[in-house]
Structure 1
Amino acid sequence: MTTRPSRLRAVVCGTTFGQTYLNGLTSLPEHFELAGILARGSPFARACAERHRVPLYTAVEQLPPAIDLACVVVRSGVVGGAGTALAKALLERGVHVLQEQPVHHDELASLLRLARKAGCQYRLNGFYPDVAPVARFIAAARHVLGKRRALFLDAACSIHVLYPLIDIIGQALGGLRPWFFVLQSVAESDAGPFTCVSGRLGGVPLTLRVQNQLDPRDPDNYIHLFHQIALGTDGGTLTLVDSHGQLLWHPRMHLERRGDGVIDLSAEHQAVSLSVSSTIGPAAAPSYHQVFNEYWAKAVARGLLRFRDAILAGSQDTALHQYMLGAAKAWGELGMQLGPPRDIAPPDTLPLAVDGIAAHVQASVGT
C-alpha cells in the first residue's frame, strides 16, 4: 500500500502576484514544501528564488519529476498572458494546478477536461472569497439568507477584480443562476469612472458599477475600489465596505402602529431598540501593508489547504467544476456588456491619509 505524502512539493509560477502565493505556501511548512519558482528569469525572480533558497526554473521542461502541484499566478490567455498555456503544460506532466483567476470559459473547460484525462486536480482560484472580510461577508450572507429573502444586490468594483465579484456573490447566494446583465451607461471621459449595469445574479436584482478603466503605463494601479457589496433582505442589509474593510449589518427600520393606526415615534419596542448599524468582525481596517503581507497570504493558505484536501482525496468535484464554469461564463457575459476597458492617463498623485481629514472635521464640526 502506498502512503500519501504529508508534505506536497509545490512550485509557484510568476513572481508579481506570485509573491502572495509564496507567502501563503511558506506559511504552511507542515503541509507544503516550496520546491522552486518558475519565472522568466528577471533579476527580481532570481532574488525571490535566492530569498526562499529554492531553484529558479525558466521552462516547464526544467522542472524535476517529483513536483506535486503548481500555483500558476501568471495572466491567462484571455487577458494576454501565458498562464493558460503554462497550466496546460503542467497538467500534461501530471502536475496538479491551482490557477489564479480569471480564465475564459472555453479555456477553463479545456483545462478541466485535460485534468481529468491526466488524473490531476485543477482549480481556478477566485482568491478574494478567502480574504478574511470577504469570507465573513459570505458566511454572514448565508446565515441571513437562511432566515430572510434576498431582495437586491448593489455592488461596485474595479475591472481588475470583476471575476472575483461574481465568485463572491455566487458563494454568498449559494449559486449564480439565473443571471442576465443589461448595460445602463458607459463611463466617458467627462462622466466619471464608472460604467453601470443592471440585471440579476442568482435570481436577485443587481445594480453594478464597474470602474472599467486601465492605465496602460501602470495597469496594476489607479484602482478606486476593490469590492463594495450590499445584500438587501427583508430583514436588513449586509454591507461589505471593502474587500479588506469592515462588514456592517443595517437592520431594516420597522415602526409599530398603535391601535388607532398612529405611529408614536416616542414609543419603545424591540425593533427600534436595534442599532442602526453594527460591525461584524473587527471595527478597524488594516493597512495596505497588512493586506499584502498578512490578509492575502492567509487567503492563499486557505485556498491551498482546500486544494491539498482535493489532491489527497483523489476524486473530481463535478459540482465545483460546474460552478467554476458558470462563474467564468457569467464573467464573460458581463465583460461583453461592459466592453473593453478605457485607457486613462491619471496624474501621478499619492493617496491621501486620513489624519488631515479627521483634524479638519474635528475643527469644523467637533466630535
Structure 2
Amino acid sequence: MTVLNRRTLIKIGGAAAALPLVGGRAFAQEKLKVGFVLIGTPDDNGWNFGHDTGRKYMLDQIGADKVETTVVTNVAEGPDSERVFRELAQQGHKLIYATSFGYGDYVHKVAKQFPDVKFEWATGNSTAPNVSLYNAKFHEGRAVLGTIAGMMTKTNTLAYIGSFPIPEVRMGINAFAIAARKVNPEVKVKVVYVDSWFDPAKEADAARALIDQGVDVITQHTDGPAALQVAEERGIVGGFGQGADMSAFAPKAHLTAIIDNWGPHYVKSVQSVLDGTWVEGSVWDGIASGEVEIGKYNEKIPADVVAAAEKVKNDIAAGTLHPFAGPIKDNAGAERVAAGDVIDDGEFWAVDWYAEGVEA
C-alpha cells in the first residue's frame, strides 16, 4: 500500500508510474491498482478513518496478492483534486474512490479522459458510464441520536455543527431535529456551519459559542472530535461521534457515535472490477444493511433512553419507521410532508428547508 499526501503526489507526478520490475514484468500489472482520495487523513478518527478502515477490510477479504492500494491524503475539494485523479489514472489505477462530495466535477472531467478507469464518488449525485455513486443513509443514525438528545437535554437546546449546507448535511439536521422533537416537543436545534469538513479550531470555537447560548447536547457533521473535547471540558450532557467511535477523546461526554462501515461496499466493488462485472450504479445503504452502525452507549445514558434509541434503530432496520414520515412542518410553519406520506429517496436531494425547531 502506498500512502501519499497531495504535495508528494504532485511532486513525483508521472514518475510514480515507473514502478520496479519483477521478473521482467511490471509489478503493477499483476494486481488491480485501486486509489483512495481522502479530504483529510485517517487519523482524524472520523470520516477519513472510516474509509481507510474500509480499505483495510477490503484488503483482508480479497487479499493483498490481488489488490494494491494507493491512499492520497489531504486533497482539498477544488481544482487541484483534478490533478490527483488524473495522476492516479495515469499511474495505472483502474478503480479510484473519490471520498468527498466536492470532488464531483473533477471526477467527471477526468473520467471522460480515462473511459477504461472506474470511478466511485462517495455522497455524489450524478453518474456516468464509468462513474458510480455510493453513500450511506446517515440520517437514519441521526434519528437515533436525536432521540437520545431529546430525552437527555436539560435546557431543551441542542446544537448541530455542520460542514457545508449541502443536502446530505441538511438531511442529518432535519432527521436529528424531527426525532428529538418527537420525544421532546420543546426542543430547538441551533445550527452552525464551519465551512470545512475538518477544522478543529473552528469546530471548537463553534462548540464554545453554542454552549454559551445554553446548548447542552452537540452533534456534528464534521470529521474530528474537537466539539466533543469542548463538551468534555465544559461538562455539558454530551455529544456524539461522527463516522467512528470517538469516546477516547471525551469519555464522559461521548454518548454514542454513528459509525461508517464502508468495508462491505469496498469488497463488492473491488471484486466486481476483478470479475469484470462492474457497472455504473448507485448504492445507498443504511442501518438495515449494517453500513450505518450505532456505537456503544455511554454508561451514563439512562436505561429508558437506551431502550428508546434501540427501538428507533430497530424499527428503521425493519422498515416500520421512516425518519421523514409525515406530518412534517418546516421552521416557518409550512407543511412539507403530509400525514401518511414520506420523503422518498429521490426527493431527499432537493430538500432546501429546515424542519420545525431548527434555527439555521
- Normalising by structure 2, report the TM-score: 0.35
Give the structure-1-normalised TM-score. 0.34
Q: Which has the larger radius of gyration?
A: 1
